[in-house]
Amino acid sequence: MKKGAMQKSKQWNVKGALRMAGIFHFLHSCGSSCLLPFLTLYFRHLGLNAAMIGIIMASKHLLALVWRPFSSVLARQYDKRRVVIVGSLLSSALVVLTLLLFPSAGIQAESGRCNATSQPDAYPTALLATLDDDGLNITITTTLQHYSTQSNATVYSVNQTSLSTEQPVEVDTFVSSNWSARGLRSLKQEEGLHTEFLGSLKAMDAQHQMFFLVLIVMVLWECMAAPLEWTADDGLYEYLDFVDATDRYSGVKVWKQLGAAFGNCAVGVLVTSLFCLAGTSVEFYSYTALMILTIPTAALLPIYLRKRERLTSGGFKALQLVHGNSQAILCAITVVLMGMVSSAVSDFLLWQMQDCGATEIHMGISLALVHLSQAAFAPLSGHLSRFLKYHGWALVLAVVILALQCLYYSFLRSPWAVIPAQLMAGFSTGALWWSVTSQSEDIATPGTEKTILRLFEALSLELGAAFGSLAAGFVVQKFGVMLLFQGAGVVLALWSSTLALLKWKIPRQRRINYSRLLAADTEISESESDQEKDWLETAMEDDRGKISGQWKVK
């Protein structure tokens, strides 16, 4: 019996399970934060414009909106969670490296950070075809060198080397927009340079070729990476639920924030230090290395295995509960709007910082401060709840703070100036999800709390983010990053006023869950027993009084 008891206690080691889950999420978040926040900068480097980047990021979010819950259900149905997690880590780590195979179609503005001796390939080269007096082709290799920067245009001088003529060839300098290959492409098209670049897409210009290839790779990558997070979370949650320890599940989220902060800082330092040797490819190799490093922990991740069961309609039940509550509908609209603005900020804030002269170390530290401020908000949530009295006002506070952040971003003039706004993220994103969690508990029936919270997360992080990326891309393309942030701040400010008015007018509806009902029944039973005891004592006292009175009369 002792041996069996020891084996059982070892099998359900809750502390060890939480420790292993924390390591897994720390490593995975660290790897993701090494690359995901910097993707739009890399796409800019490839020569894609803001509208194209917005379409790519929107496609990524829409695919995750559909594929993530579906793949999670399938993994649970067929008990293949661990296989899905390990396969997702390995395949996503390898697929993302495909982006490094694409040649840059743009001009690297960062090349001024490295001199020609330390990085010979810092400046792109182009092949120009010209005709001599005899009609023979003369190939000239030109090297673009950074000359000066004015506003949004960068002037490049051209060093030329003639390969088939002894006479020097004069080539005028030209102006190219930052991160654009229009100058090179126009010269290629005018001179009729033939290229076999990108196979069947060669009929398009280089920018659209690059756009479609990047879109295909991103869709494939998201198919590989999307199933991981929900599958791992579901396995851990059901493991803890089986041993009645779901109250410890929220402690794992802190490791996600800490891992993301560490990854942001680490990759910022590495890219800045090794830029002249490896450029931005350090971000991709860091992601791949950490994903592969996470695989051993995924093999030991605590996952509760269950027998095959019929698919449940928990998502539809959650939709019905949200639809039937006015306060929950307001919360859903707010999380979609917040997701739109947050996606616009994550996609194009680093563009704004880069235009202000920021390097990757500035960006990494500023992104890490966001995660640290969100992690620090958890201990403060209790004080905030006592101050606001009702969690719905925290939702209004989150909208106001994010509006102020957006307005602040629009006036950035130096890299480190972004820090005050990043420190406010705890009271925007942190307060948002604290309020959403409380709202989920208010309307949930037994067993639906996690599903309702997942529904709000999907509305914000995927649906809202998709609309936000798409709209932000076209706004930046036409009006610029500054007007994007200013417009987002104004929209959020207007919605915060409307939201506060509606929350004041609409009565709060609160559903009592099973545990609260049991507590209420216990209190009622105790009060009834106390009343019964008081009645009995009163009757006995009356009887004593009557008896004593009879003795006195006699």
Q: Indicate whether 465 belongs to any domain.
A: yes
Q: What residues are paired with 154 via a beta bridge? A: 149, 176
As a whole number of angstroms, the distance between CA 350 and CA 542 comes to 83
Same domain flag for 333 and 273: no
Instruction: Tell how far CA 22 is from the center of its chain.
Output: 19
User: Which of 304, 334, 356 is a domain's end point?
Assistant: 304
Same domain flag for 36 and 115: no
Same domain flag for 420 and 498: yes
pLDDT digits (tens, 9 = 90+) for 436-450: 998 888 888 887 888
Q: What is the pTM of this model?
A: 0.77
Nearest residue to 433 via CA among 465, 402, 462, 456: 456
**Torsion, CA 237, CA 260, CA 493, CA 415, rounded to 10:** 180
Same domain flag for 269 and 131: no
Asked if residue 106 has pLDDT above 60, the reply is no
Q: Which residues of 504-540 are buried (b: 16+ CB within 10 A; e: fewer)?
A: eeeeeeeeebeeeeeeeeeeeeeeeeeeeeeeeeeee
Same domain flag for 505 and 471: yes
User: Which of 271, 304, 337 is a domain's end point?
Assistant: 304
pLDDT digits (tens, 9 = 90+) for 85-100: 999 999 999 999 999 9
Neighbours of 451 (CB within 10 A): 20
Range of the domain at 237: 21-103+206-304
CATH code, domain carrying 300: 1.20.1250.20
Same domain flag for 73 and 114: no
Asked if residue 8 has pLDDT above 70, the reply is no
Same domain flag for 410 and 489: yes
Same domain flag for 91 and 227: yes
Q: Indicate whether 543 belongs to any domain.
A: no
Same domain flag for 468 and 512: yes
Same domain flag for 375 and 471: yes
pLDDT digits (tens, 9 = 90+) for 279-328: 889 999 999 999 999 999 998 888 876 655 555 667 788 888 998 888 89
Domain count, the chain: 3
Predicted local confidence at residue 378, as pLDDT:
80
Q: Which amino acid is at 21?
A: A
Same domain flag for 455 and 317: yes
Q: Indicate whether 320 belongs to any domain.
A: yes
Give the C-alpha distances (Å, rounded to integers) separating 335 from 4, 260, 358, 459: 49, 22, 30, 7
Asked if residue 160 has pLDDT above 60, the reply is no
As a whole number of angstroms, the distance between CA 326 and CA 330 comes to 6
Same domain flag for 316 and 359: yes
